[in-house]
Structure 1
Amino acid sequence: MGKPQVHVVLFPFPAQGHNSPFLSLASRLHRYRPDLTITLVSTPHHINSIRSPLPPDSRLHLQSLPFNPADHGLPAGAESTADLPVAQFITFFKAIELLYPAFDDFISNLVSNASDSTPLCIVSDSFCGWTVDVARKYKAFHTTFLTMGAFGGAVFFSLWLNHPHRLTEKDQFPLPEYPEVIIDRSQVARHILASDGTDEWSQFFKRQLMFLNNTDAVMVNTVEEFEPLGLSMLRKTFKFPIWPIGPPLAPASEPSSSKSDDENAIIAFLDSQLPASVLYISFGSQNTIQPKQMMHLAQGLEGSSSPFIWVIRPPIGSHPKDEFKDEWLPNGFKDRIKQKNIGLLVHGWAPQLKVLCHKSTGAFLSHCGWNSILESMCHGIPILAWPVNAEQFFNSMMVVKSGVGIELARGVMESSAPTKEKVEEVVNLVMSPNAKGMEIRNRAMECRDVMNKAWDEEGGSSMKSLLQFFQLSNIQGQTGDWDALVAGVVVAVIKGTDMSMENQ
């Protein structure tokens, strides 16, 4: 008789940047274990937003948990951070914690309808750490999935746990657990700087860290060779296995048969430019910058020697869904860049992966969201960093330290606006054939090779991590093909690294 079917339950935090890693994880699991039952749970509207772009042949099950935003003082339909102003984020974070009874009921029904020997594994977002209590109640294996980078995550949690900015008046200070890491106050988000350990934000993250200490293992959306420092920091703090399982499983990059008008315009613009000549600019799905910063960026872009694609939104102080006004840009800017074919403004959404894999794309001016960094590195595209919130500042630190980019600006305070001259200087430095630019581009290409090798079935570092997850969580192979794959990778692991848990 075959082994009982395994059920894996995924619980991402309801935010766009958290969806992609969980969906990529589901694809990875199904690629190597097609027989797995995988269910992703979330709030009803958020489930619908996930369902719509899934391919028709997707085997991922979706389960909504009852959630009424109004019960928590949230606007109607607000079931994701994308639906809320930053001021209400903490209310939403706390509301998601209150899904505990509904999630408990869901797991209880799964267990009662399954065989006693059917393995159950819960993989939850690090922002949903309370799910570990449910896992313990039903004797399920529990893995926390850190959707941010290892270095960014380690610094982020250290700040919330220790509040080192409160221990000194200096602009720069070390982290208690990691004294080799020096943080500048300009790299700390305003809501963290304002925290003192007793506020709602601090209490929320302290709860998640308490839960995190009870998990069985942590998956990290990164690559061992790309983030050795960050992973060593996490392994110093936590004594359970730390498994890097990045980069994300990207969809095929072939052109879609049914493109939007915006996508057609983007691809046409890229096709009209020289190889590695275009600067792609995006601050992510939820971020924007100050009006003064937007003006200076536009002036610097026009003065540089590089064509660009800019995914642009109304500046801070405007409603994100407002119609974009020409007054937010230099007089005549849009007409000039169009006539000279040196720039393209995209309002709303752009097919980022298709832009990054196009031969004409040469660099990425990014807010340093972790998904964007990984996508950029997967295609060997250097980064001009402009972090604006959360752990993005620490991701930017890692980008610079890794030699794959340079920081252009930091934050969204008016005082941090880069001048026209600074924009020109940094853009030309990275995009032009000078020694520094070549060094950065070569390093980015090396990182692309690292990303490509991570899932090599003959000893790739992320493949090793996935196998350890399968083994420790009791998700074992059932077919001859899988057994052969395990045997081949385990041999490579034994030859190349020590798989003992002591090394984790």
Structure 2
Amino acid sequence: MAQQRREEEMVVMFPYMAQGHIIPFLTLALQIEQRFGYKIIFVNTPLNIKKLHSSLPPNSSISLIELPYCSTDHGLPPDSENTDTLPYPLICNLLTSTLSLKPYFEQLILDLTKQQGHPPLCIITDMFFGWTIDIAKDMNIFHAVFNSGGAYGMGVYYSMWTNLPHTKMIRTNSHYQTSLKSQLSNLLRNANSTDSWSKYIQKYLPLWFKSDGFLLNTIEELDQTGLKYFRRNFGGRPVWPILPAFMYRKKFTSDDGVVHSIRSQKKSGIDPERCIEWLDNCSENSVLFVSFGSQNTISSLQMTELAIGLEASGKNFIWVVRPPVEFDISEEFRSEWLPTGYEDRIKRQNIGIIIHKWAPQLEILSHKSTCAFLSHCGWNSVLESLSHGVPLLGWPLSGEQHYNSKLLEEEVGVCVEIGRGTTGEVKNENIKNGIELVMGGSEKGVEMRKKAFEVKEMIKNATREDEGFKGGAVKAIDDFINAALFMRK
């Protein structure tokens, strides 16, 4: 009877249309399905759902449901349903267009309730989808916001965006003002409460506090300051640092024993086997991995400085090069983006690999030759790096990345920031010095690598479940489900 009851329960999940949101949601969906046996309804727009079919393990019964959506109705190019296909200025159009999904989502919940004979056990939606909360409340369904970021970064992000406009400085020290302003993304620096992004964020993010609970993609030991902020300000509602247990394995074993990856199904810009073979021929802890994520990039001038700094450091590197901000994000690679003869020179000297578009990131970070990660400090990349004990060189570009970098450098001690944003000046000499600091034999570099290993162990323990032991993230997901079941009673 208990097993039958579990199979009758439904959990509806609805992430924002971005890889950095969809993949953590899918990981959580698989964890809930595997751990509790519940039926998962995973909702998104047609093109995102189509891509997800190949991401599911063969033994998963997750239902992928499309909501009607046409990008051209919202001033977007045809077939643009994910941030990774859009230039940054159009991402706001994608965000505001999600309101068109509200009636379809509401009807879906009504239809599921009718088909099942009772409403879903809970609805888990994205941080940007505060408008789903009233739908859940009207039907007396437990609702949780799942934020795929960390608590510290998202706490600052929330505070900054909901307290606009930022027109005054308390201190008058010019260096302090310059430093503080540089911690603002371009979008936030120009926000004034009347622009489209500000209006959407200020209307729908505060709705978090009407939800029944808040799920964060982090662990207690790494993110105490941020978690304290949310618990203090969330009106007594529970805040669960769940860090889906398989997030850092990102692999599931099917019934026939085949290991199945649930990472993005994007075609890599390099044969993964060739990449691993190159790493195998490098010394242990000798390679720097450079990548700015799925929707971020730097300017042409910054790219040139980075290229020079990498070469001058004398370290082996793997660099994922995407079009500079001045170009279309989907454009094919141009040699003019790099110094004359750069790619041929690097290849001839065998000191690096330059990958166009996408790289097998998890395989690179887990390799023993990888020593450090020059990253935009997107939270998923941060956790992938630290779960393998790899320290970071930070170059935050957008969103809450500036605050992630601050947390990692000032509180955790696993990061050195070498650049900030797409408009600031970044010198190749500073890049070279940062690389040498983190990867060299200095006391600072050794300490950073030691702390990164300690965080790796924290993550391992938080997601571990053995006989007589249950990690904090495992306890949190159990507590979350129990809260939803309690409301059902």
Asked whether the two chains share a fold, i.e. TM above 0.5, the reply is yes
Q: Is the aligned partner of 1:318 residue 2:339?
A: no
* Letter paired with 2:358: W
The residue number in structure 2 matching 1:432 is: 440
Q: Residue deviations 1:330-366, cap 9 Å, x none?
A: 2222222212211100011111111010111000000
In the alignment, the residues of structure 1 paired with residue 471 and residue 179 of structure 2 have an alpha-carbon distance, to the nearest angstrom, of 33
Query: How big is the shift at 1:321?
Result: 2.8
The residue number in structure 2 matching 1:27 is: 30
Of 402, 414, 426, the residue aligned with 1:404 is 414
* Letter paired with 1:242: V
1:411-426 alignment to 2 at 5 Å? 411-413=421-423, 415-417=424-426, 419-426=427-434
In the alignment, the residues of structure 2 paired with residue 66 and residue 170 of structure 1 have an alpha-carbon distance, to the nearest angstrom, of 50
Query: How big is the shift at 1:172?
Result: 8.2
Of 440, 462, 465, the residue aligned with 2:476 is 465
**RMSD of aligned alpha carbons:** 2.3
Contact 1:312 1:348 in 2 (8 A): yes
Against the structure 1 CA distance between its residues 190 and 463, is the aligned structure 2 distance closer, same or farther, given a 3 Å change threshold?
A: same
Q: Is the aligned partner of 1:452 residue 2:460?
A: yes
Q: Residue deviations 1:211-254, cap 9 Å, x none?
A: 21110000000011010011111111112110001152522499
Query: How big is the shift at 1:209?
Result: 2.5
Q: Is the aligned partner of 1:55 residue 2:52?
A: no
* Letter paired with 1:403: G
User: Deviating runs (4+, > 3 A) in structure 1?
Assistant: 169-173, 252-261
Of 422, 438, 443, the residue aligned with 2:451 is 443
1:489-504 alignment to 2 at 5 Å? none
Q: Secondary structure at the match of 1:246?
A: coil
Deviates more, 1:278-287 or 1:207-216: 207-216
Return the TM-score normalized by structure 2: 0.90
1:239-278 alignment to 2 at 5 Å? 239=235, 240-246=237-243, 248-252=247-251, 262-278=271-287
Query: How big is the shift at 1:119?
Result: 4.9
Contact 1:6 1:475 in 2 (8 A): no
Of 205, 210, 219, the residue aligned with 2:206 is 210
Against the structure 1 CA distance between its residues 80 and 256, is the aligned structure 2 distance closer, same or farther, given a 3 Å change threshold?
A: closer
Q: Secondary structure at the match of 1:144?
A: strand
Q: Secondary structure at the match of 1:63?
A: strand
* Letter paired with 1:471: N
1:350-361 alignment to 2 at 5 Å? 350-361=359-370
Contact 1:124 1:145 in 2 (8 A): yes
In the alignment, the residues of structure 1 paired with residue 443 and residue 232 of structure 2 have an alpha-carbon distance, to the nearest angstrom, of 37
Query: How big is the shift at 1:9?
Result: 0.3
In the alignment, the residues of structure 2 paired with residue 65 and residue 150 of structure 1 have an alpha-carbon distance, to the nearest angstrom, of 30
Number of aligned positions between the proteins: 464
Q: Residue deviations 1:1-55, cap 9 Å, x none?
A: 336321000000011110111011012112311x210011011111112223323
Q: Is the aligned partner of 1:194 residue 2:190?
A: yes
The residue number in structure 2 matching 1:93 is: 95
Against the structure 1 CA distance between its residues 160 and 256, is the aligned structure 2 distance closer, same or farther, given a 3 Å change threshold?
A: closer
In the alignment, the residues of structure 2 paired with residue 194 and residue 169 of structure 1 have an alpha-carbon distance, to the nearest angstrom, of 19
Q: Residue deviations 1:169-221, cap 9 Å, x none?
A: 86889xxxxxxxx9811011122122222322222112222321110000000
1:465-484 alignment to 2 at 5 Å? 465-474=476-485
Q: Residue deviations 1:249-304, cap 9 Å, x none?
A: 52249999999852122111101100111000000011111111111111111111
Q: Which consecutive residues of structure 2, in runs of 5 or more, have no partner in the other structure? A: 253-257, 262-266
1:113-132 alignment to 2 at 5 Å? 113-116=115-118, 119-132=120-133
Q: Secondary structure at the match of 2:57?
A: coil
Return the TM-score normalized by structure 1: 0.87
In the alignment, the residues of structure 2 paired with residue 451 and residue 210 of structure 1 have an alpha-carbon distance, to the nearest angstrom, of 30
The residue number in structure 2 matching 1:14 is: 17
Q: Secondary structure at the match of 1:301?
A: helix
Against the structure 1 CA distance between its residues 266 and 255, is the aligned structure 2 distance closer, same or farther, given a 3 Å change threshold?
A: farther
Q: Secondary structure at the match of 1:113?
A: helix
In the alignment, the residues of structure 2 paired with residue 120 and residue 375 of structure 1 have an alpha-carbon distance, to the nearest angstrom, of 31
Query: How big is the shift at 1:377?
Result: 0.9
Q: Secondary structure at the match of 1:78?
A: coil
Q: Secondary structure at the match of 2:240?
A: strand
Contact 1:28 1:249 in 2 (8 A): no
